[in-house]
């Protein structure tokens, strides 16, 4: 009888100990992910507001002021061939001292190309693009960083997202 | 031997005559197949809402004294005292160069600025009252012209211009959403006062310039990028597109305009700081005409719309617009390639109400809206041009002509009316004015 009482006591004690186990704290975090789209898949055309705003940010690394955006939109709307105005916008911004694009291509051409694609196209270049453009820049030392950025920003892909 | 050489040369000449295109002095590759009456048409939308009472009926004396002969000669009245530069036409009046239809009509649809413009540009009355920034439903005169003028060829966009004096819905009027037409056949468009301005100069007037060699390198990179993206590019969404050579011309032209606007010799019209938006629009329209000699130019004026609140300013605006239209005609007739080969059509988009609203201006004059009453449908139309094409010094006082007749008349003048698919246009050619 005593033995049964002992066993029951031990079981009760064990239950009490294990049922009072402290709850574990879980900490959730987000892994670092690249949000750029893989490959070229940009079916949507930027609105004129998006085009001006994104171009300004890409060149100056800062958000465009509302008043400046309004000024540029009015001018943009005031001419029919948008390609001409877009070209003028980009060249005008590139002509300003505050621009935030690399001054030179540097010795690591592959890194320059990859960085330019990530900044302007918001994606990684594929292997063929890297190969072709790295080769082109190696063989043409007269091409400046500014010219390279200008070419990308006046391409059709830059007009879409 | 000589006979054989002759036959050979004659054969080559004959083949050449068929194979080699004939390049016309105007730069066009082939002559248009229709019978053209002139090679240039300028349509002036004397817009903003004009009542016949103040225009052709001269109830406030002749406020259009460079265009119209006097019924009641202009007399300065309280608030209507501006001294304008001398008439660009001297002692003669513009109406002597053509036919004045005093009782023209905007017959259907709301008497709104947008509807009025659409009607004059498409030849169709429009009931549109929402989504004002959309392209017109039916093809514009620009699209008819570019698509049908040269048969299968798409006529250069540099030959078709739409120049508006404000933004709002007007940039969308250079092409329609009609299937088979659209931006491919649209007009080049400019709103000068928004672009050739201090803001415009600070944002577009000082671009980075690349050398020819640099541009070739840029184009090589761009071509590579475009080739990788070709299957997704939505070209139709970016408006009117000119060829690379035409774009270069347009770039150079904009550069000239920016330079001109910032130079001391800018604007010698004599208005000083009293240049109105209408006059600025006419000024740059003349620059476009002098530079490109377009076959089809359409421009508008709208300053007189101030009549909603200020009748006196409406009268002053009317006088300036009148002066500007005569200046435009003088420039056309002084521009080689345009002179003697241009028809100009001047027409308001609609009129204004007979009854005033409740606003009274500082000179005690009541203001007028345009709400589709009978008076707001009464307008005039003046067509001027060479004596061989337009009846000279003719006045029609009975009701004749309506807004939808403008497009067929332009198509007839430029010789492509027969190539417009049947049923597209419901108006007629204004044969009381055009020979």
Structure confidence by residue, pLDDT tens digits, B245-281:
999 999 999 999 999 888 877 777 888 888 899 999 9
**Mean pLDDT of the B65-91 span:** 95
Q: Give the number of other Cβ atoms within 10 Å of residue A76's Cβ.
A: 22
Task: Name the DSSP class of B376.
Answer: G
pLDDT at residue B406, rounded to an integer: 98
The answer, yes or no, to whether residue B131 has pLDDT greater than 60, is: no
pLDDT at residue B241, rounded to an integer: 85
Task: Go through A80-118 and write b for each residue having 16 or more CB atoms within 10 A of its CB, e for each that does not.
Answer: bbbbbbbbbbbbbbbeeeebebeeebeeebeebbbebbe
* Res. A39 pLDDT band, cuts 50 70 90: low
List the single residue in A with minimal CA-CA distance to B190: A79
A 26-85 residues inside an 8 A Cβ radius of B: 40-43, 45, 71-72, 74-75, 77-85
* Res. B21 pLDDT band, cuts 50 70 90: very low
Chain B nearest C-alpha distance from A32 (Å): 29
Cβ distance B228 to A129 less than 8 Å, yes or no, reads: yes
Taking every pair of Cα atoms in chain A, the longest distance, rounded to a whole number of angstroms, is 102
**Considering only CA atoms, which of B385, B366, B380, B163 is closest in space to residue B279?**
B163
Contact call for residues B430 and B405 (beta carbons, < 8 A): yes
Mutate to test the interface with A, among B207, B212, B223, B227 (most CBs of A within 10 A): B207
Contact call for residues B101 and B432 (beta carbons, < 8 A): yes
Contact call for residues B36 and B414 (beta carbons, < 8 A): yes
C-alpha–C-alpha distance, residues B408 and B124, integer Å: 11
pLDDT at residue A30, rounded to an integer: 75
- DSSP3 helix / strand / coil % (chain A, rounded to 5): 60, 0, 40
Chain B partners of A136 at a C-beta cutoff of 8 Å? 220-221, 224
C-alpha–C-alpha distance, residues B297 and A108, integer Å: 53
Backbone angle region of B267, left / alpha / beta, with phi > 0 → left and psi within -120 to 50 → alpha: left
The ipTM value here is: 0.86
Give tens-digit pLDDT for A124-160: 999 999 999 999 999 999 999 999 999 999 999 999 8
Chain A nearest C-alpha distance from B202 (Å): 9
C-alpha–C-alpha distance, residues B129 and B119, integer Å: 13
The answer, yes or no, to whether residue B119 has pLDDT greater than 50, is: yes
**Considering only CA atoms, which of B250, B260, B300, B238 is closest in space to residue A76?**
B238
**Mean pLDDT of the B180-192 span:** 95
Contact call for residues B24 and B31 (beta carbons, < 8 A): yes
Chain B nearest C-alpha distance from A67 (Å): 11
State residue B347 phi and psi, 5-degree precision. -150, 135
- Between the alpha carbon of residue A43 and those of residues A46, B228, B230, B275, the distances in Å are 10, 14, 12, 45
The per-residue pLDDT of chain B, averaged, comes to 90
Chain B partners of A89 at a C-beta cutoff of 8 Å? 203-204
Cβ distance A84 to B239 less than 8 Å, yes or no, reads: no
Tokens of A14: 């064990």
pLDDT at residue B256, rounded to an integer: 93
pLDDT at residue B53, rounded to an integer: 98
The answer, yes or no, to whether residue A52 has pLDDT greater than 80, is: yes
The continuous run of DSSP H or E covering B110 comes out as none
pLDDT at residue B25, rounded to an integer: 38
**Mean pLDDT of the B382-399 span:** 98
**Considering only CA atoms, which of A115, A60, A49, A127 is closest in space to residue A93?**
A60
- Between the alpha carbon of residue A145 and those of residues A107, A157, B29, B204, the distances in Å are 12, 19, 42, 22
DSSP letter string, B359-385:
-B-TTSPBP----S-SGGGEEEEEEE-
Cβ distance B210 to A79 less than 8 Å, yes or no, reads: no
Domains along chain B with CATH numbers:
21-193+243-258+266-419 (3.40.720.10)
The answer, yes or no, to whether residue B33 has pLDDT greater than 60, is: no
- Between the alpha carbon of residue B51 and those of residues B58, B106, B348, the distances in Å are 10, 12, 9
How many residues are recorded in chain B?
A: 435
pLDDT at residue B262, rounded to an integer: 83
**Considering only CA atoms, which of B220, B224, B132, B196 is closest in space to residue B170?**
B132
Q: In what order do the strands lie in the sheet with B296-301?
A: B188-190, B160-163, B296-301, B40-46, B342-347, B378-384, B98-105, B394-402
pLDDT at residue B152, rounded to an integer: 59
* Res. B426 pLDDT band, cuts 50 70 90: very high
Contact call for residues B104 and B406 (beta carbons, < 8 A): no
Mutate to test the interface with B, among A77, A80, A131, A156 (most CBs of B within 10 A): A80
Residues forming a β-bridge with B296: B41, B160
Cβ distance A82 to B239 less than 8 Å, yes or no, reads: yes
* Res. B27 pLDDT band, cuts 50 70 90: very low
Tokens of B94: 């513009």
Q: Where are the beta strands (DSSP E) in chain A?
A: none
Contact call for residues A155 and B222 (beta carbons, < 8 A): yes
**Mean pLDDT of the B45-66 span:** 97
Chain A nearest C-alpha distance from B182 (Å): 13
pLDDT at residue A13, rounded to an integer: 67
More confident residue, B102 or B23: B102
pLDDT at residue B36, rounded to an integer: 95
Mutate to test the interface with B, among A52, A53, A56, A84 (most CBs of B within 10 A): A84
pLDDT at residue B126, rounded to an integer: 87
Crossing angle for the helix pair A66-77 and A48-60, to the nearest 10 degrees: 130
B167, B210, B218 ranked by CB distance to A77: nearest: B167
Please count the residue pairs, one from chain A and one from chain B, whose beta carbons lie less than 8 angstroms apart: 148
Chain A nearest C-alpha distance from B218 (Å): 5
The answer, yes or no, to whether residue A2 has pLDDT greater than 60, is: no
A43, A75, A144 ranked by CB distance to B200: nearest: A75
The continuous run of DSSP H or E covering B234 comes out as none
- DSSP3 helix / strand / coil % (chain B, rounded to 5): 40, 15, 45
Cβ distance B247 to A83 less than 8 Å, yes or no, reads: yes
Q: What percent of chain B has pLDDT over 70?
A: 88
pLDDT at residue A38, rounded to an integer: 47
Give tens-digit pLDDT for A70-96: 999 999 999 999 989 999 999 999 999
Chain B partners of A83 at a C-beta cutoff of 8 Å? 238, 241-242, 247
- Between the alpha carbon of residue B104 and those of residues A44, A111, B276, B300, B403, the distances in Å are 46, 69, 27, 18, 8
C-alpha–C-alpha distance, residues B75 and B73, integer Å: 6
Give tens-digit pLDDT for B192-206: 999 998 889 989 989
**Considering only CA atoms, which of B98, B100, B134 is closest in space to residue B114?**
B134
Q: If 0-12 CB within 10 Å is exposed, 13-18 middle and 19+ buried, where does residue A42 land? A: buried
How many residues are recorded in chain A?
A: 161
* Res. A34 pLDDT band, cuts 50 70 90: low
| CA angle, B359 then B361 then B367, to 5° | 45
CATH class of A48-159: mainly alpha
State residue A39 phi and psi, 5-degree precision. 75, 180
C-alpha–C-alpha distance, residues B286 and B288, integer Å: 5
pLDDT at residue B132, rounded to an integer: 63
pLDDT at residue B32, rounded to an integer: 46
Give tens-digit pLDDT for B314-349: 999 999 999 999 999 999 999 999 999 999 999 999
């Amino acid at each position: 009888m005593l033995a049964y009482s002992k066993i029951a006591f031990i079981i009760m004690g064990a239950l009490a100990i294990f049922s009072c186990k402290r709850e574990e704290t879980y900490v959730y975090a987000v892994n670092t992910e690249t949000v750029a789209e893989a490959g070229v898949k940009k079916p949507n055309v930027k609105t004129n507001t998006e085009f001006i705003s994104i171009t300004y940010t890409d060149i100056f690394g800062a958000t465009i002021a509302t008043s400046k955006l309004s000024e540029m939109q009015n001018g943009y709307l005031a001419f029919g061939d948008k390609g001409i105005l877009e070209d003028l916008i980009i060249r005008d911004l590139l002509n300003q001292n505050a621009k935030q694009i690399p001054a030179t291509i540097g010795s690591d051409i592959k890194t320059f190309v990859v960085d330019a694609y990530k900044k302007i196209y918001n994606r990684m270049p594929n292997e063929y693009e890297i190969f072709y453009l790295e080769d082109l820049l190696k063989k043409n030392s007269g091409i400046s960083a500014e010219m390279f950025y200008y070419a990308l920003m006046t391409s059709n892909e830059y007009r879409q997202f | 031997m000589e006979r054989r050489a002759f036959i050979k040369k004659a054969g080559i000449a004959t083949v050449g005559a068929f194979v080699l295109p004939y390049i016309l002095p105007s730069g066009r590759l082939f002559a248009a197949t229709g019978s053209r009456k002139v090679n240039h048409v300028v349509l002036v939308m004397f817009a903003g809402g004009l009542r016949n009472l103040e225009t052709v009926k001269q109830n406030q004396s002749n406020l259009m004294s460079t265009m119209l002969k006097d019924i009641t000669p202009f007399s300065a009245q309280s608030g209507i005292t501006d001294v304008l530069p001398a008439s660009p036409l001297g002692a003669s009046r513009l109406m002597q160069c053509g036919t004045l239809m005093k009782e023209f009509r905007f017959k259907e649809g709301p008497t709104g600025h947008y509807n009025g413009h659409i009607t004059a540009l498409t030849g169709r009355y429009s009931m549109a009252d929402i989504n004002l920034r959309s392209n017109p439903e039916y093809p514009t005169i620009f699209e008819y012209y570019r698509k049908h003028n040269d048969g299968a060829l798409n006529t250069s966009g540099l030959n078709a211009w739409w120049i508006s004096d404000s933004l709002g819905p007007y940039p969308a009027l250079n092409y329609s959403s009609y299937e088979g037409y659209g931006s491919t056949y649209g007009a080049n468009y400019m709103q000068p006062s928004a672009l050739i301005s201090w803001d415009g100069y600070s944002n577009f007037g000082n671009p980075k310039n690349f050398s020819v060699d640099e541009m070739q390198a840029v184009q090589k990179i761009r071509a590579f990028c475009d080739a990788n993206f070709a299957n997704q590019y939505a070209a139709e969404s970016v408006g009117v597109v000119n060829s690379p050579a035409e774009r270069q011309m347009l770039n150079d032209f904009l550069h000239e305009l920016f330079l001109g606007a910032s130079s001391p010799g800018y604007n010698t019209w004599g208005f000083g700081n009293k240049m109105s938006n209408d006059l600025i629009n006419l000024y740059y329209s003349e620059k476009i005409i002098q530079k490109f000699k377009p076959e089809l130019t359409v421009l508008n004026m709208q300053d007189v719309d101030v009549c909603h609140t200020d009748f006196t300013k409406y009268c002053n605006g009317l006088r300036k617009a009148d002066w500007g239209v005569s200046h435009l005609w003088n420039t056309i007739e002084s521009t080689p390639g345009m002179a003697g080969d241009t028809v100009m059509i001047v027409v308001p988009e609609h009129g204004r109400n007979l009854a005033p609203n409740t606003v009274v201006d500082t000179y005690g004059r009541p203001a007028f809206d345009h709400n589709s009453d009978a008076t707001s449908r009464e307008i005039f139309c003046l067509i001027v041009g060479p004596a061989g094409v337009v009846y000279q010094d003719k006045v029609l006082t009975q009701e004749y002509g309506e807004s939808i007749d403008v497009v067929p008349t332009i198509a007839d003048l430029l010789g492509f009316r027969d190539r417009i698919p049947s049923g597209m246009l419901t108006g007629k050619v204004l044969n009381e004015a055009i020979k």
